[in-house]
Amino acid sequence: MAAPQAACRTATPPIWRLILATETPRPRTKYYDHSNNRLVYRGASSDEGYWDGHWSKAQLERVLRESSRSPGCRMVVEVTRRFLPPGSRVLDGGCGLGDKVKALADAGYESYGVDYASRIVATLNASFPELRISHCDVRRIEVSDGFYHGYWSLGVIEHFYDGYDAIIAEAYRIIAPSGLLFVTVPAMSPLRRLKAKAGLYRPWPTDAPTPDDFYQFALPGAGIAARVQRQGFELLERRPLNGITGLSDEFPLLRWPLKVVWKLAYRPAERLLAGFSNHTDLFVFRRLAQL
C-alpha cells in the first residue's frame, strides 16, 4: 500500500511550523491516526528478521558489559526495588539484548528473559549462558501459571498492529496474584498532542489496511491504563520518561545539541522535559486475584 500523503498547501507556512515539521531523513515516518488519537510509525517492520539483523554479536556483548551504567537499566532496577524484594522472579518479556535481564540479576533478582528474535537469543545463550533467556512469543510463554512475581514489558505492546490484549492476558496468567506488571510504551506526550492538533503529522486514513512496513504506535496513556485494568490489573503508578529523547524525535534540528545535554546534564534535563516531551510512559500495575 502506498504511504498516505498529506494534503497540499498553497500558502507558505510560518517559520515555526517549518522548524517543528522538519525531519532529517530517517527510516521511519510518523502519521497521526485521529480516530484513535495515536501516532503510526512506518518504514521498517518490527518482525523477527528486523531485530535479528539489528544487532551484531560485538554490539550485544558491549551493551551487556555496560548494562550497569545504562540509564534504562538503572531505571528498571530502581523501579523494581520499590515494589519487589531481591530474590523475586522477574521476567523481561521481549528482552531484546538482554541487558535488563543482566541488570536485574546483578541486583539480586531471579531474572528471566524471552524474545522471538531467534538469532539474538542464540547469540545470548552462547555468549552469556548464565542468563536465563529463551526464544518464544510473548503471547504464549511456556511457564506455569503464576510463576513470576514481576513482569517487565519494555517497548513491546506498541509493535502489535492488531492490539495487545493477548499479551496482557498471558501476563495475567503467568504473574502471581498481587504480582507486578511494568509496562513502557511510546507516549502521546503533550508535545505530540500539540503537533497533532496543529496538523504537523501526515494524516492516517481511517480505513487503511495493516501496512507491510508498520513499526510501532505512540499511544495515549489513558487508553492503555483502562485497557489493561479491564484485563485484571490495578493501576498503581504512571510516569512520563525520556523527555530528551522525545524532544529530539520531534525537533530533529535539536538532535545534536540534545546529545550534548544528554552527556552533560541528563538528570536535570529529564526532570525539566519529561512532563512535556516524554517519548515514553511507564505504567505499574498490580495483578488482581480474580478477573
> pTM for the complete prediction?
0.85
Predicted pLDDT at 187: 98
Alpha-carbon distance of 183 to 187, in angstroms, equals 12
Alpha-carbon distance of 269 to 262, in angstroms, equals 8
Contact 39, 103 (CB under 8 A): no
Q: Which amino acid is at 150?
A: G
* CA-based nearest residue to 284, from 217, 218, 228, 219: 228
- Sheet of 89-93: strands edge to edge? 132-135, 110-115, 89-93, 148-154, 175-186, 280-287, 233-241
What's the pLDDT band for 56 if we cut at 50, 70, 90? low
* CA-based nearest residue to 119, from 51, 46, 45: 51
Predicted pLDDT at 218: 98
Helix-then-strand count for the chain, H and E = 11, 11
All cell numbers assigned to 247: 524532544
Predicted pLDDT at 11: 39
Q: Between β-strands 233-241 and 280-287, what pairing exists: parallel, antiparallel or unpaired?
A: antiparallel
Neighbours of 141 (CB within 10 A): 20
What's the pLDDT band for 66 if we cut at 50, 70, 90? confident
Give percent of the chain above pLDDT 90. Answer: 66
Q: Which residue has the higher pLDDT, 258 or 148?
A: 148
**Beta bridge partner(s), residue 40:** 31, 217
35-49, 51-65, 195-209, range with the lowest pLDDT: 51-65
Per-residue pLDDT tens digits for 245-291: 999 999 988 988 998 888 888 889 999 999 999 999 999 999 999 87
Query: Could you state, in order of their start, the residue ranges of all structural domains in the chain?
Result: 38-188+203-242+280-287
- Burial grade of 155 (CB within 10 A; 0-12, 13-18, 19 or more): middle
CATH 3.40.50.150 at 38-188+203-242+280-287, yes or no: yes
Alpha-carbon distance of 228 to 45, in angstroms, equals 25
Residue with cell 531484546: 96
Per-residue pLDDT tens digits for 98-123: 999 999 999 999 999 999 988 889 98
Alpha-carbon distance of 123 to 111, in angstroms, equals 18
Who contacts 13 (Cβ-Cβ below 8 Å, separation ≥6)?
21
Per-residue pLDDT tens digits for 150-180: 999 999 999 999 999 999 999 999 999 999 9
Per-residue pLDDT tens digits for 72-96: 899 999 999 999 999 999 999 999 8
Alpha-carbon distance of 135 to 115, in angstroms, equals 5
- Burial grade of 83 (CB within 10 A; 0-12, 13-18, 19 or more): middle
Alpha carbon separation from 199 to 169, 187, 196, 208, 210 (Å, rounded)? 36, 18, 5, 19, 23
What's the pLDDT band for 45 if we cut at 50, 70, 90? low
Per-residue pLDDT tens digits for 205-237: 988 888 888 999 999 999 999 999 999 999 999
| DSSP E strand stretches across 124-204 | 132-135, 148-154, 175-186, 202-203
